[in-house]
Amino acid sequence: MSQTVKLVLEDGTEIQGESFGAFTSAAGEVVFSTAMTGYPENLTDPSFAGQILVLTYPMVGNYGVPGEELYESISKIFESDKIHIAGLVVNYYSEEHSHWNAAKSLGDWLKEYNIPGIFGVDTRMLTKILREKGAMLGKVVAEEDVELHDPNQENLVAQVSPTEVKHYGHGQHKIVLVDCGTKTNIIRCFLERDVELIRVPWDYDFTQLDYDGLFLSNGPGDPKMCTATIGHLQTALGQDKPIFGICLGSQLMGLAAGGDTFKLKYGHRSHNQPVKLTGTQRSYITSQNHGFAVDTDTLPAEWEMLFENLNDGTCEGIKHKTKPFFSTQFHPKPPAALRIRSICSMTS
Judge contact between 111 and 22, C-beta under 8 A.
Answer: yes
- Asked if 190 and 335 sit in the same domain, the reply is yes
Upper half-sphere CA count for residue 331 (Cβ side, 13 Å): 26
End position of a domain, from candidates 153, 173, 208: 153
- Asked if 197 and 339 sit in the same domain, the reply is yes
pTM of the complete model: 0.92
Q: How many Å separate Cα 146 from the centre of its chain?
A: 26
- CA gap 154, 50 in Å, rounded: 10
- CA gap 21, 224 in Å, rounded: 34
The pLDDT value given to residue 232 = 98
User: What is the CATH classification number for the domain harbouring 338?
Assistant: 3.40.50.880
- Asked if 96 and 180 sit in the same domain, the reply is no
The pLDDT value given to residue 340 = 40
- Asked if 171 and 289 sit in the same domain, the reply is yes
Judge contact between 177 and 197, C-beta under 8 A.
Answer: yes
- CA gap 187, 181 in Å, rounded: 12
289, 274, 308, 41: CA torsion to nearest 10: 20
Residues near 100 by beta carbon (within 8 Å), at least 6 away in sequence = none
- CA gap 152, 98 in Å, rounded: 37
Mean pLDDT by 10 residues, the chain (348 residues): 91 96 97 86 94 94 92 90 97 95 96 98 93 92 95 96 95 96 93 94 96 97 97 96 97 98 88 90 90 97 96 96 96 48 46
- Asked if 66 and 200 sit in the same domain, the reply is no
End position of a domain, from candidates 100, 133, 153: 153
- Asked if 322 and 189 sit in the same domain, the reply is yes
- Asked if 119 and 60 sit in the same domain, the reply is yes
The pLDDT value given to residue 342 = 46
Judge contact between 90 and 55, C-beta under 8 A.
Answer: yes
- Asked if 148 and 117 sit in the same domain, the reply is yes
- Domain extent, residue 164, equals 156-346
- Asked if 161 and 177 sit in the same domain, the reply is yes
End position of a domain, from candidates 94, 122, 153: 153
- Asked if 294 and 253 sit in the same domain, the reply is yes
- Asked if 199 and 118 sit in the same domain, the reply is no
44, 333, 336, 103: CA torsion to nearest 10: 50
- Asked if 112 and 171 sit in the same domain, the reply is no
β partners of residue 215: 177, 244
Number of domains in the chain: 2
User: What is the CATH classification number for the domain harbouring 149?
Assistant: 3.50.30.20
